[in-house]
Amino acid sequence: MFDTFASPFSHRYGSEAMRALWSERHKRLLWRRVWVALAEAQAELGIISADQAADLRAHMQDVDARSIARALELEREIHHDLMAELRVFAEQCPLGGSVLHLGATSMDIEDNAEALRLREALALLRQRVHVLMRCLAEQVLHHADRVCMAFTHLQPAEPTTVGYRLAQTLQDLMTDEAQLRELQRTLRGKGFKGAVGTAASYAELGDAAAMEQRALQKLGLEAFAVATQTYPRKQEWLVLNALASLAQTLYKFAFDLRVLQSPPIGEWREPFGAKQIGSSAMPFKRNPILAERINSLARFLAALPRVAWDNAAHSLLERTLDDSANRRALLPEAFLAAEEITLLATRVVCELHVDERNLVRTFEAYAPFAATERVLVAAVKAGADRQAIHARLRELALRAWDAVAQSGHNPLIELICADPEVTRYLAPEIIRALMNASTYVGDAPERARVLARQTLAYLGAAEDA
């Protein structure tokens, strides 16, 4: 392993469970599962004997390092990976080997197996997403009332709460999870339709439709009504889009986190180990490597749907083979990247540190600006000219901006309370009450709590299902 190239997805990114789904052994086990389902359907229809089908089932799990090595040796000779595995399987089955793959073409086996594997991978990824959603919902509830400054255009805007900000990510995650769930539910295989999708070879053996229906029922799989040599590659494009959508959600969250944990703001912070090293040159560095890794892998994943798009668009007439090589990397790496991003985000969210001191510091520096809108409305209600008061508040705010830039202290409340043009309509004590910006968050806390509780209820129902 250390003397040749190894993909980082083979050891660094993703879980052993996800890697196992995309392993050579699991692929070959799925191929054999499809072969056996076809054979058993043919036995039930009297095309082959029950003993032949039973022999194939008896050896269906006989995939190990030795058998894979034998298949790879054959592949180097015949240059066809599925035929190589077919020969190895047939060699193991003295009775059933002679009828293995009867009527089938390679993609009858591979595309049905791929649909099964995609469904398994989606199920595992959804489990990871559920853990993240639960942790995020709990953080939303915990921080629902914690006031902070909102930023638009990366400039201080008006108050919001930490929980409400987190709820934006949770809401997007719920959308992503719904897409993954629907794809998992509706994934379809090619079925058993032969070389160009007409099922002509199966019709020569008997009732092609009955054969397909029985085999698919054994696999627990539905098939596309029509197919060419493959199932429509559009299906994989849809899957890649859903994975990229998940990556998009977590990319934004991670990028926001990188902004908020920069020392000038310092409101949020990702976990940092006691022995963790931030820089080989600068001992003091506390770099946001988890958030950066999420962004890096998400950027990679975002580019992959285009490959799936080309695979679908360029599958000319009844099939071309120019999708085969890239799909060997495209599908597993997309799922491993999506899983790694989700696992990283889960760690960040569960161990997220919110620095109350810096929340207050930022809030006290900029929140008074947001409260001027309340003063404006109250003054106009008290009889002031809206345009005149707006102009005066703007002049005072610009003076306060200069003070914040110089010292970090915002004198805006004092400036307004001492200004005769404003106090002509509002008493200083009323102005101070109006400029208590911590109450200027609308119904954001309750909206955040409602979303979090809906999420937890959905996850509870999903676990019980």
Mean pLDDT of 372-386: 94
- Rounded to an integer, the average pLDDT of 126-144 is 98
The two structure tokens encoding residue 90? 């047939």
Residue 156: domain span? 9-354
Mean pLDDT of all residues in 246-270: 95
At residue 352, the 3 state secondary structure works out as: coil
pTM given for the model:
0.92
State the sign of the Cα–Cα–Cα–Cα dihedral 455, 456, 459, 460.
negative
- The answer to whether residues 29 and 151 belong to one domain is yes
DSSP letter, residue 15: -
Residues 243 and 377 both lie in one domain: no
Q: Mean pLDDT across the stretch 361-376?
A: 90
* Same domain for 104 and 93: yes
Query: What CATH number should be reported for the domain holding residue 161?
Result: 1.20.200.10
User: Over 80: is that where the pLDDT of 272 sits?
Assistant: no
In the three-class reduction of DSSP (H, G, I as helix; E, B as strand; rest coil), residue 169 is classed as helix
Beta bridge partners of 223: 189
| Pair 158, 205 in one domain | yes
Res. 130: pLDDT tops 90: yes
Average pLDDT score over residue span 343-368 = 95
How many angstroms separate the CA atoms of 59 and 90, rounded? 9
Tokens of 26: 């699991």
pLDDT at position 370: 86
The per-residue pLDDT for range 37-68, each reduced to its tens digit, is 999 999 999 999 999 999 999 999 999 999 99
Residue-level pLDDT at 284: 63
C-alpha 175/C-alpha 166 separation (Å) is 15
Structural contact between residues 344 and 290, judged by C-beta atoms closer than 8 angstroms: yes
**Residues 165 and 225 both lie in one domain:** yes
Q: Are 356 and 161 in contact (CB under 8 A)?
A: no
The answer on 308 and 256 residing in a single domain is: yes
Pair 284, 195: CB distance under 8 Å: no
Share of the chain above pLDDT 90, in %: 87
426 and 332 in a common domain: no
Whole-angstrom distance, CA of residue 202 vs CA of residue 212? 9
Q: What is the DSSP secondary structure assignment for residue 1, as one 8-state letter?
A: -
362 and 216 in one domain?
no
* Residue 55 counted as domain residue: yes
CA 420/CA 343 separation, integer angstroms: 57
- Residue-level pLDDT at 246: 98
3-state class (DSSP) for residue 222:
strand
More confident residue, 365 or 240: 240
What SS3 state is found at 101?
Answer: coil
Q: Are residues 313 and 418 in the same domain?
A: no
Last residue of a domain, one of 300, 331, 354: 354
Give the H/E segment covering residue 442: none
pLDDT at 56: 98
Is residue 448 assigned to a domain? no
Tell me the torsion sign for CA atoms 114, 225, 244, 179: negative
Domain termination site, one of 354, 378, 403: 354
End-to-end CA distance of the chain: 42
The yes-or-no verdict on residue 179 having pLDDT over 90 is: yes
Copy the structure tokens of residue 48. 């082959």
CA triple 303-316-200, angle to 5 deg: 125
Q: How confident is the model at residue 359 (pLDDT cuts 50, 70, 90)?
A: very high
Q: What is the pLDDT of residues 278-303, one digit of tens each?
A: 666 666 657 789 999 999 999 999 99
130-144, 200-214, 280-294: range with lowest mean pLDDT = 280-294
Q: What confidence score (pLDDT) does residue 177 get? A: 98
The answer to whether residue 262 sits within a structural domain is: yes
Is residue 463, in this structure, part of any structural domain at all? no
| Res 107: pLDDT | 97
Question: For residue 251, is it within any domain?
Answer: yes
What the block records as the tokens of 381 is 């209600």
Q: Is the pLDDT at 305 greater than 90, yes or no?
A: yes
User: pLDDT at position 173, please?
Assistant: 98
Residues with a known catalytic role: 153, 279
Distance, in Å, from the CA atom of 454 to the CA atom of 167, rounded to the nearest integer, reads 12
Say if 447 falls within a structural domain: no
Average pLDDT, rounded, for the chain: 94
Please report which confidence band the pLDDT of residue 360 belongs to, taking 50, 70 and 90 as the band edges.
Answer: very high
Claim to verify: residue 70 and residue 108 sit in the same structural domain: yes
Long-range contacts of 43-51 (CB under 8 A, 24+ apart): 44/214, 45/206, 45/207, 45/210, 45/211, 45/214, 46/206, 47/102, 47/205, 47/206, 47/211, 48/96, 48/99, 48/102, 51/95, 51/96
Which token pair is 50? 């029950």
Asked, for residue 334, whether it belongs to a domain, the answer is yes
pLDDT in the model for residue 18: 98
Contact 102, 47 (CB under 8 A): yes
User: Looking at residue 288, what is its pLDDT?
Assistant: 86
Helices (H), 187-233: 200-205, 208-219
Q: Answer yes or no: do 372 and 301 share one domain.
A: no
Question: Residue 370: which CATH number?
Answer: 1.10.40.30
Q: With a cut of 70, say whether residue 131 has pLDDT above it.
A: yes
pLDDT value at residue 283? 63
Total domains present in the chain: 2
**Is residue 424 assigned to a domain?**
yes
Are residue 337 and residue 400 in the same domain, yes or no? no
Q: Of 354, 375, 407, which closes a domain?
A: 354
Least confident of 61-65, 208-212, 267-271: 267-271
**Alpha helix ranges (H) inside 143-267:** 162-186, 200-205, 208-219, 234-260
